[in-house]
Amino acid sequence: MMKHADVTVPAAPLDLPYRFSVGIMLLNPQGLVWTGRRLPKWVGDRSAHIWQMPQGGIDEGEAPIDAAYRELREETGITSAEVVAEMPQWLTYELPEQLLGVALKGKYRGQRQRWFAMRFWGDDSEIDIQPRGAKAEFDRWRWREMSELPELIVSFKKPVYQTLVERFAYLAQN
């Protein structure tokens, strides 16, 4: 928020930085992609109950690939996975105006993400979306066809998901 005289107005989008984060497209041996149904993050969170892939922030001094493995473990419990591909560039999305100052703890105008495709070699029994000592991100999960992904996500992230499907489509072939 910025103060002008005695009036408080929301920060303009260009005044806010991007949050650097990672995303993980986790594929099982059959070429299906893991998706989780998001829990609400704040009162009135309209993107709650949207299905998405695991993602999360990069900690200071952390390499993106290390953040990807950490986020995957924290959000899904999965450790039996390996990186099989990486987007060569950062993908960016902007928050819609009504979410500025609300989503992403109100600190960011959107996210700049490094995406990794990982192959899951474990058993589904390894998946645990109720982490011990941390807040759960998802209330349900399921494997899906990669082509379904862009229709599951909130509209402002749809171009990112379309790019990922185009780039990683070859990985869905088992």
Q: Is the distance from CB of 144 to CB of 160 less than 8 angstroms?
A: no
Parallel/antiparallel/unpaired status of strands 110-120 and 18-27: parallel
CATH number of the domain at 41, please.
3.90.79.10
d(CA 34, CA 57): 19
83: containing domain: 2-172
Q: What is the DSSP letter of 153?
A: S
d(CA 171, CA 129): 24
Torsion over CA: 161, 95, 54, 149 (sign) = negative
Q: Report pLDDT for 145.
A: 97
- Could you report the per-residue pLDDT of 57-97, keeping only the tens digit for each? 999 999 999 999 999 999 999 999 999 999 999 998 887 77
Per the DSSP assignment, residues forming a β-bridge with 161 are none
Any idea what the Cα angle at residue 49 is, between residues 45 and 52, rounded to 5°? 105
- Could you report the per-residue pLDDT of 119-129, keeping only the tens digit for each? 999 999 999 99
Q: What is the pTM of this model?
A: 0.85
d(CA 22, CA 34): 15
Phi, psi of 113 (to 5 degrees): -115, 140
Please tell me which of 2-6, 102-106, 154-158, 168-172 the model is most confident about, judged by mean pLDDT. Answer: 168-172
Which of the four pLDDT bands, split at 50, 70 and 90, describes residue 2?
very low
d(CA 23, CA 21): 7
Tally of domains within the chain: 1
Q: Report pLDDT for 27.
A: 98
